[in-house]
Structure 1
Amino acid sequence: MKKLARTIMLQGTASDVGKSIITTALCRIFYQDGYKVAPYKSQNMSLNSYVTLDGKEIGRAQGMQADACYTAATTDMNPILLKPKQDMVSQVVVHGKPYKDLDARNYREQYLQTAENIVKDSLFSLRKKYDLITIEGAGSPAEVNLKDRDIVNMRLAKWAEAPVILIADIDRGGVFASIVGTLEILTPEERKRVKGFIINKFRGDISLLQPGVDWLENKTEIPVLGVIPYLHHLGLEDEDGASLDMKIKSTQKLENQLDVMVIKLPRISNFTDFDPLLKEPDVHLRYIEHIDEWDAPDMVIIPGSKNTLQDLLFLRETGIEEKLIEYVKQGGFLLGICAGYQMMGEKLLDPHYFESDVSELNGMGLFPTETTFIQDKRTERVEGTTLLYSSDVNDQLYFKHSDAIQIEGYEIHMGTTQFLQPVQHAFQIRLAGNQEHSFHNDGVVSDDGKVIGTYIHGILDNDIFRRNWLNNIRVHKGWIEFKETISYRNKREEAFDRLADHVRLNLNMEKVYQMIEEGIE
């Protein structure tokens, strides 16, 4: 019988201290060092999700970590995903499929015992299949009001027989207080599990920090395994809204860059859809929340949302919807993905209140479509083709009826869209990897090719489509086409290696391996 895999766990003194990124780095390092490794996070709260090969939904971070160690992501790597829908209410996704919407109190009091068994089973399943499991905690292990039913931090570490590395973010200040304070709240048994610290996001002269490191090690008798310098322009997907807030503080637009503007909806989801645009040298990507930030965009994107009707009301109440409609009338370029696509239709219907507490709402009226929200959630990877865009810019329609572009992506939505009159569809798609499935139409494109709606998340990951789309906008502005096609997949692989090299250089990997070998003894 195969011995169960060894484990190591990354916990943090708070949220957004870098647990996901350090876990990703270790997944790539362990893979490079010859281990068959898998990531694991028992419960994740995120609106950025990842669709597995079998059409299940998990946290985006765990999908990224699986990619980093070249293993196929499964729901065992994130058996419970919480997707916030409104204040204090989340959709609970269990093994990749929606279970029900629960508020925080009911989830804690009614479901956590069931959840405990689910996360234990998934962890055991992974430990039977792999050599090493890299476990990511959530938030902080020192939340005294949550510890008795914890399934994500110290109780999980005990079930996993995992030594713990505690990560603290020096960039936010108070790093030594946050580490010592966390240890003070832990029980003696929990403190014994903490075998090392990582001080993350350091900027400055390491010699000036050394006295503090020495003090911390003397006080706690626990080693600082590494001080990780802040890594600029990492180039990997973000976990949650905290990181998106940094993107809103956009850089200055350069000459000859396209101004691509994303509407930051209150319940925005899967904003990683737009990360490939950050790799394009002729694109300036920015996010806006207020109409006075509009300025003069070359392209506007309406992203996905976890509450489509409420976010449409947000656009209506803030005046952004009216601005969008006028922008399209004046010949502007608009892309709507998933919820954004749904909002662009004639009507949205939610008679059973699956999406929100609004039963019916008029859409923007940009497409002759009607979307009804149903209980079943469509989650699947798709592949297909598109006839968008022609290199012949003299054509009124920007279609090319030969050499169709191959595309792939994934769908995550609860709405079904009906066409009220014939339309020009943007894509022809089928279930990925299954040639027995026939193609079906997805999305709508306007007659002039400037306005597109689609259900396909990840559509901008497709290099040729993305470049043709951007060049179409450039030509309309009277600019020359940008000839280089950037490989987003290659850039992402380079980012994984750059991250792993950075962490390996600044982390005592010999001690990390020693921790793993010794376990919690």
Structure 2
Amino acid sequence: MNRGGLLVAGTTSDAGKSVVTAGICRWLVRQGVKVAPFKGQNMSLNSFVTREGAEIGRAQAMQAQAARVEPTALMNPVLLKPGSDRSSQVVLMGKPVGEMSARGYHGSRQEALLDTVVGCLEELRGSHDAVICEGAGSPAEINLRRTDIVNMGVARAARLPVLVVGDIDRGGVFASFFGTTALLAPEDQELLAGYVVNKFRGDVTLLEPGLDMLKSLTGRATYGVLPYQHGLGIDEEDGLRVSLRGAVRESVVAPPAGEDVLRVAVCAVPLMSNFTDVDALAAEPGVVVRFVDRAEELVDADLVVVPGTRGTVKALEWLRERGLAEALVRRAAEGRPVLGICGGFQVLGERIEDEVESRAGVVDGLGLLPVRVRFAAEKTLARPVGEALGAYVEGYEIHHGVADVLGGEAFLDGCRVGSVWGTHWHGSLESDDFRRAFLREVAAAAGRRFVPAPDTSFAALREEQLDRLGDLIERHADTDALWRLIEGGAPAGLPFVPPGAPS
């Protein structure tokens, strides 16, 4: 017999589905409920490797941490990793199965994929008290409804009640709630139980007349009004939507432990992946992290990070077009620190041979590290552990490129030459002792009187953030009504809302 479940949908992308899903998971597990997260299909360049070697979205790994369970491929059976505006790598049950155009993906295999998605969901529901599912985009993407395996398609197949989250900070939230409801078919509307308002600022009593009118128009309640909160540093889903000019993951600097701050510039390369690697740097007191796309923005940086990317050759071309490649070469010659991670590591090498990702053949790298890279058809997915700079390190690997290291000083699976480091390991900077040792090396090379804080624990900071999400639900949502929804399904007798009903 299936146990409790709920699907958290949104009026738009970035409405707050991931935050609400993680918050509900943390609230439930603190009540003693055995809960798991789930997202049938995820489109993201930020991914994670589970202990069994499966690749899933980082958002689901974060939600699993919120639920205090080990992430598995069951929690994200389909992952799409964009390689261009029109094509993505399809990762099924944690393993890549090919590259497909958007038209080809939506035009084939959807029935089989829906069976896989629902089967994974039912397996999770059989072993947990509740499964909190996250939708994607909007459930009212009527052009995609026939092939939907993540929103109302999975909700209807598994008879899940649905909450729709709306970001009131963007404006138009009532129209978005009503329009989303009205565009759904009657069978889908039967499962849409109500709404959650996200990012509200001000006096909630001023909002209540609108919530009452929304209920009179749709027959559906609002299950919570969540206030706007700064600094909820959860993992982003989609690297393609990073705003280079916005304050994207620009760290708020706590007072440094030493005399100086340390300034980190991250090259915002195309198809940037796993940019969450620099979160641990931003968590350090006295470290400022910013994303850049111009050569002049590297001038005052103490450390430049070239991050992972789904398009290594494309990133290399982009760096050259913008003068960033030349600036990186100058930095290396001057002994100023540079760190390349995964695709960024490959860019720093001597040569790239790629007949898999870009099919560009042999391409010269920046030549800052004695490394030659050959792209293999099989993707490396691993959870390595090791030691570097005298400290224990954990990481994870997601790459097609196989690096042949020809010299330099050993550094994780890569190498170091002077003040230039390269590795395929994502997540290594989350290892506290290693991060501190690395920052001491960077500060020395940069001539900064920067001292890493001795007691910063990235894992503890992440737990604090997840607890804040749980508090958000516990304090500002109708948790009794939420639990009735999770346990009993959508209320019976919800009315059908035809388009244009308010007039």
Does the 8 A contact of 1:24 with 1:68 survive in 2?
A: yes
1:99-248 matches, cutoff 5 A: 99-241=97-239, 244-245=242-243, 246-248=246-248
Report the TM-score, using the length of structure 1 for normalisation: 0.90
Identity across aligned pairs (percent)? 41
Q: Which one of 408, 411, 414 corresponds to residue 443 of structure 1?
A: 414
Match of 1:462 in 2: 431
Q: Write the letter of the residue equivalent to 1:190.
A: D
Does residue 409 of the first structure (1) align with residue 395 of the second (2)? yes
Q: Secondary structure at the match of 1:55?
A: coil
Does residue 423 of the first structure (1) align with residue 393 of the second (2)? no
Report the TM-score, using the length of structure 2 for normalisation: 0.93
Q: Write the letter of the residue equivalent to 1:424.
A: E
For residues 248 and 497 of structure 1, what CA distance do their matches in structure 2 show? 22
For residues 413 and 161 of structure 1, what CA distance do their matches in structure 2 show? 37
Does the 8 A contact of 2:263 with 2:287 survive in 1?
A: yes
Does the 8 A contact of 2:285 with 2:453 survive in 1?
A: no
Superposed displacement of residue 118, structure 1: 1.3
Does the 8 A contact of 2:12 with 2:137 survive in 1?
A: yes
Does residue 304 of the first structure (1) align with residue 308 of the second (2)? yes
Question: Which blocks of at least 5 consecutive residues in structure 1 are unaligned?
Answer: 389-403, 428-441
Deviation string, structure 1 residues 26-49 (Cα, Å, up to 9, x no partner) = 111111111111111000000000
Superposed displacement of residue 471, structure 1: 2.2
Match of 2:21 in 1: 23
Report the number of matched residues: 484
Aligned Cα RMSD in Å? 1.6
Does residue 509 of the first structure (1) align with residue 495 of the second (2)? no
Superposed displacement of residue 235, structure 1: 2.7
Q: Secondary structure at the match of 2:209?
A: helix
Question: Which blocks of at least 5 consecutive residues in structure 2 are unaligned?
Answer: 493-503
Structure 1 residues 242 and 24: CA distance shift in structure 2, 3 A: farther
Match of 2:384 in 1: 382
For residues 344 and 181 of structure 1, what CA distance do their matches in structure 2 show? 49
Does the 8 A contact of 2:260 with 2:448 survive in 1?
A: no
Superposed displacement of residue 234, structure 1: 1.2
Q: Which one of 309, 319, 322 corresponds to residue 318 of structure 1?
A: 322
Match of 1:369 in 2: 371
For residues 516 and 326 of structure 1, what CA distance do their matches in structure 2 show? 58
Match of 1:5 in 2: 3
Does the 8 A contact of 2:7 with 2:133 survive in 1?
A: yes
Superposed displacement of residue 368, structure 1: 1.4
Deviation string, structure 1 residues 303-354 (Cα, Å, up to 9, x no partner) = 000011111111111111011101111121000000111111110001xx31
Does the 8 A contact of 1:445 with 1:451 survive in 2?
A: yes
Does the 8 A contact of 1:27 with 1:38 survive in 2?
A: yes
Q: Write the letter of the residue equivalent to 2:476.
A: N
Q: Write the letter of the residue equivalent to 1:162.
A: L
With 115-124 and 236-245 compared, the bigger mean Cα shift is at 236-245
Q: Write the letter of the residue equivalent to 1:268.
A: M
Q: Write the letter of the residue equivalent to 2:367.
A: G
For residues 462 and 437 of structure 2, what CA distance do their matches in structure 1 show? 20
Does the 8 A contact of 1:475 with 1:481 survive in 2?
A: no
Structure 1 residues 483 and 77: CA distance shift in structure 2, 3 A: closer
For residues 290 and 171 of structure 1, what CA distance do their matches in structure 2 show? 31
Superposed displacement of residue 367, structure 1: 1.2
Q: Which one of 31, 34, 38 corresponds to residue 33 of structure 1?
A: 31
Q: Write the letter of the residue equivalent to 1:515.
A: L
Q: Secondary structure at the match of 1:139?
A: coil
For residues 216 and 256 of structure 1, what CA distance do their matches in structure 2 show? 53
Match of 1:359 in 2: 361
Q: Write the letter of the residue equivalent to 2:338.
A: L
Higher RCO by CA contacts (8 Å cutoff, separation 6 or greater):
2
1:330-345 matches, cutoff 5 A: 330-345=334-349
